[in-house]
Chains A and B, each alone.
Chain A
Amino acid sequence: MIPVAPPPLVATPPAVSAALTETNVQVNSGFRGARIVLYGAVFDPLSRPSDVVVIVRGPEQPVRIARKTRVLGLWVNSRPVVFRGAPGFYIAASTRPLDEIARFSELRRLGAGVDHLAINAPDEQRIETRYGIRDMVVSRLGADYFDWRRAVVRLKEKGGLYAVDEAGVRFVDKGLFRAEIALPAEAPIGEYHARIVLFQGGRPVSEKLRTLTVAKVGVERGLYLWAHERPWSYGLAAMAFALGAGWAASRAFRRD
């Protein structure tokens, strides 16, 4: 028998595709967080070993953070430091631990993983010449800078707003994967971007971007807009309502 040669391989590059099961999260009075399911497929005729990383970022929110220091025996807050570039929500879900999927430099470039978030404190930085080297970026926080940066991530993780899920993406069938993103009730309002990246041999070979909107609806939206766009009339109405309720209660309980 003459062995049949396999059909010639077409050099189609591997590709990834994905869709969110929900693209609009509505925040109403019953909102307790949401679970967003993402389905996707890897198209690769050669079926090379693939890894998928899903990075979801919420709207950017500057972070103000302070450190407790001891002054005259009391623990008080230091001057707050503002970190910029921090997303209000961040999750990196992947098929395997990120450092097994790709090298440091690739992860850093993609901002994959909480250690690779591009956050910094520009107000604390100044550029000066040191040891004869011009344009050195020096942070006023000095050697503690990384403690501060780690604290931002740690506190956000504690609040359920930052997460790394090393097994968050699962292949459910050949080439078909599924990821689940849990949004807590504290997740900020705004536009979220999901970046789905296909890795092969430690390199990103294909990626897709998907958008997700978290918006207040109904009464919640109306009250929020009122409070922020016409704060004085909102404040007056809220107080009038409070005083009216107090008056009504005293009328209702009047004993005569």
Chain B
Amino acid sequence: MDIYLPIAEVSVNAPLLVALGALVGFISGLFGIGGGFLMTPVLVFLGIPPAVAVASMANHVAASSMSSVISYSRRRAVDFRMGGVLAGGGVVGAIVGVEIFRWLRLLGQADLAVALSYLLFLGVIGGLMLWESLQAILRRRRGEPPPPRRDRRPPWLYGLPLKMRFPSSRLFISVIPPILLGAFVGVLSAIMGVGGGFVLVPAMIYILRMPANVVVGTSLFQIIVTTALTGVLQAGRNQTVDIVLATLLLAGGVLGAQFGARASSRFRAEELRAVLALIVLVVGLRMGLGLFVRPDEPFVLMSGMGG
């Protein structure tokens, strides 16, 4: 059952893509992340031009985040005000990111930027998360109590101007850190074809000190706004969104996400985090490996004329 993708201009196996969408959707629902960081490399591996894979992923991520954010908002686990501030930064970041990606493609350095950002961000975040979750697992095995949470309020978070009250998160902080964080994630979403949940979730917990129960829902809300804009911008500026590809992926993705969200209650949080950290780390290292190994073929064709 092969199907021809009108924008990517390649023929792919449709059931395989639906299954891939379902698998990534399951992982996404299980861990509360978008899953773009897993899907984009696999699509490129399957022979889809990277520019099309990155752009079409925005639609897929928006759809699966939409599917889960509604259930989070029913549980009042979304801080819409914080999400709005993050998304405000995300909008600026996405616009800048799409232009940066265009410019990198013209220079022929899009591959390098994608590989480096995967190696850097996934490597660091995966490594930190793995370390933290393994310690949590070991402590529980030994029966030690969890370390007291340092609840000192960092002065830079509270000293900055433009303070705003976020009742759902029980915070009264400056809007500058969330806007900067949102903008950073917006740039990543355009360059890496990811939603950015893997950056946003830890940053909201450790930097903004938001309560854990609203973090995932708020991150998903911000991801919807940012990826919706990225998807439209990529289609309008670069004509690289393949609606057939996105549809195949999200058909599996939205179903997988629902099953993943249900399965997540069966596992301990720190064990889930450890598995996710391993996946993140392996993907990051795999993508970055190519930068260090002497290539068999020293030449590469660049798709399109950079337009």
Binding site for B on A (CB under 8 A): 27-33, 62-68, 73-80, 148, 151-152, 154-156, 159, 185-186, 188-189, 216, 219-221, 223-224, 227-228, 231-232, 234-236, 238-239, 241-243, 245-251, 253-254
Q: Does B96 lie at the interface of the complex (its beta carbon under 8 Å from any beta carbon of A)? A: no
Query: Is B65 an interface position by the 8 A CB rule?
Result: yes
Question: Scoring B residues 172 to 200 as 1 if CB is less than 8 Å from chain A, else 0, what string do you get?
Answer: 00000000000000000000000000000
Q: Is the CB of B232 within 8 A of A235?
A: yes
Report B222-280 residues with CB < 8 Å from chain A CB: 224, 228, 231-237, 239, 241, 243-244, 246-247, 250-251, 254-255, 257-258
Question: A91 to nearest B CB, angstroms?
Answer: 18
User: Which A-chain residue is minimally distant from B61 (CB atoms)?
Assistant: A242
- Residues A68 and B300 in contact, CB atoms below 8 Å apart: yes
For residue B65, which residues in chain A have a CB less than 8 angstroms away from its CB? 246
CB-based contact B235/A65 at 8 Å:
no
8 further contact pairs, Cβ within 8 A, besides A30-B2, A64-B302: A29-B244, A152-B301, A154-B299, A231-B235, A242-B231, A246-B67, A250-B67, A251-B70
B4 near A27: Cβ-Cβ < 8 Å:
yes
A114 to chain B, nearest CB (A): 15
Q: Are B4 and A28 in contact (CB under 8 A)?
A: yes
Partner among B6, B295, B299 whose Cβ is within 8 Å of the Cβ of A155: B299
| A242 in complex: contacting residue of B63, B68, B108, B304, CB < 8 Å | B63
Q: How far is the CA of A78 from the CA of B62 in the complex (A)?
A: 35
In the complex, are the beta carbons of A185 and B298 less than 8 A apart? no
Docked CA distance A190–B63 (Å): 34
A154 proximity list for chain B (CB < 8 A): 297, 299
- A to B CB contacts below 8 Å, 18 in the list: A29-B4, A29-B244, A32-B4, A62-B305, A64-B301, A75-B292, A80-B108, A154-B299, A156-B301, A220-B4, A223-B243, A234-B235, A235-B241, A239-B235, A243-B63, A243-B224, A246-B67, A246-B70
**Which partner residue on chain B sits nearest A253 by CB separation?**
B258
Contact of B132 with A by CB under 8 A: no
The interface centre, meaning the residue of B2, B11, B291 with most chain A CB atoms within 10 A of its CB, is: B11
B236 contacts A232, CB within 8 Å?
yes
Q: Which residues of B contact A76 (CB under 8 A)?
A: 109, 112, 291
10 interchain residue pairs of minimum CB distance? A235-B235, A246-B66, A249-B254, A151-B299, A80-B108, A185-B11, A64-B302, A246-B63, A242-B63, A246-B67
Residue of B59, B247, B255, B258 near A239 (CB, 8 A) is B59
Could you say which residues of chain B place their CB within 8 Å of the CB of A75? 290-295
* Choice from A33, A79, A159, A185 contacting B108 with Cβ under 8 Å: A79
Question: Are the CB atoms of A235 and B301 closer together than 8 Å?
Answer: no
Contact B258 A65 (CB under 8 A): no
- Residue contact A74 to B291, C-beta cutoff 8 Å: yes
Tell me the minimal C-beta distance from A82 to chain B in angstroms. Answer: 8
A224 and B7 contact, CB distance less than 8 A:
yes
The residue in chain B whose Cβ has the minimal distance to the Cβ of A256 is B74
User: Which of B6, B7, B10 has most A Cβ within 10 Å?
Assistant: B6
Question: Per-residue 0/1 for B1-44: is the Cβ within 8 Å of any A Cβ (1 yes, 0 no)?
Answer: 01110110111000000000000000000000000000000000
The distance from the CB of A63 to the nearest CB of chain B, in whole angstroms, is 6
Give chain B nearest CB distance to A123 CB in angstroms.
12
**B71 interface residue per 8 A CB criterion:** yes
CB distance from B11 to the nearest CB of A (A): 4
The interface bits of chain B over 52-63 (1 if a CB of A lies within 8 angstroms of the residue's CB, else 0) are 000000111011
CA–CA, A75 to B235, complex, Å?
Answer: 31
In the complex, B111 has a CB within 8 A of chain A: yes
Verify B235–A246 contact, CB threshold 8 A. no
Out of A30, A68, A248, name the residue touching B299 (CB < 8 Å). Answer: A68
B232: chain A residues within 8 A (beta carbon): 232, 235-236, 239
Contacts of B109 in A (CB 8 A): 76-77
B306 contacts the other chain (Cβ, under 8 Å)? yes
Docked-complex contact B241 and A227, CB < 8 angstroms? yes
Given A77-B111, A234-B241, A238-B243, are A66 and B302 also a contact pair (CB < 8 Å)? yes
B108 touches A66 (CB 8 A): yes
Chain B residues whose C-beta falls within 8 Å of the C-beta of A250 in the assembled complex: 66-68, 70-71, 254, 258
**Chain B residue with Cβ nearest A218:** B6
- Are A238 and B299 in contact, CB atoms less than 8 angstroms apart? no
